Amino acid sequence: MVRDGPGPVVMPSLSAARPVVGAALFLGVTVSACAAGHTADSGPVAAPAQPRSFVLYALSRGQGVPERARTTLARAEAALQELRDQGADVTITKQRIGLEGETKLCATFADQGLAAKALERLRQLVSGVDLVNLAEEPCGAGAPR
C-alpha cells in the first residue's frame, strides 16, 4: 500500500488487496452474525408485528347450513364490515367451501390489538351456535378438523 499524505490509500495491485478484502468480509460477516437479533444493551430484538387472522366456518351435517348458523355468519360479516367502514385495516374474504352452503369467512388485521378485540366480539357472537366454528388461523388454512 502506498499512502500519499492524508489522502486515500492507493493499492498497487488488485492481487495484493485480496487478503485485505477477504479479511474485511470475514470480519464483517462474523460481527453481523454475532450481533444478529440483539441490540447493544437490551438482548433479543422483537420481531415485527404480523397481521393476525381468524376464520369463521359455517358448516352443515348433510342438510345444509342451519338458519341460526347462517344468521350468525351474516352478523359476523356485518361486524367486520363495520370495522372496515370505520377505517380499520382489515381484509375480509368469504368463500363457499361445500356443496350445501358451507362457508368460510376470514378476517386479517394489521393491528393485533384491534384483531384481539374483534376476535373477542365474534367469540361472544358465535358462543353456543351449533355448526359455527371460530378459529385463529391464517386465511389460507383448510377447513376445520
- Residue 140: band (very low, low, confident or very high) from pLDDT cuts 50, 70, 90: confident
Map grid coordinates 380499520 to a residue.
88
pTM over 0.95: no
Q: Detail the DSSP E strand segments found in the chain.
A: 2-3, 9-10, 38-39, 43-44, 52-58, 90-96, 103-109, 132-135
The domain made up of 52-135 has a fold known as Alpha-Beta Plaits (3.30.70)
Name beta bridge partners: 94. Answer: 105
Q: Please name which of 55, 143, 129 lies closest in space to residue 92, comparing C-alpha atoms.
A: 55
Check whether 5 has a pLDDT greater than 70: no
For residues 133 and 57, the answer to whether their CB atoms sit within 8 Å is yes
Q: What are the residue ranges spanned by the domains of the chain?
A: 2-44, 52-135
Q: Please name which of 111, 101, 97 lies closest in space to residue 139, comparing C-alpha atoms.
A: 97
Cα separation, 52 vs 139, whole angstroms = 10
Residue 29 is predicted with a pLDDT of 35
More confident residue, 25 or 117: 117
More confident residue, 7 or 32: 7
Close Cβ partners of 95 (under 8 Å, ≥ 6 residues apart): 103, 104, 106
* Amino acid in position 27: L
Cα separation, 143 vs 86, whole angstroms = 30
Mean pLDDT of the chain: 78
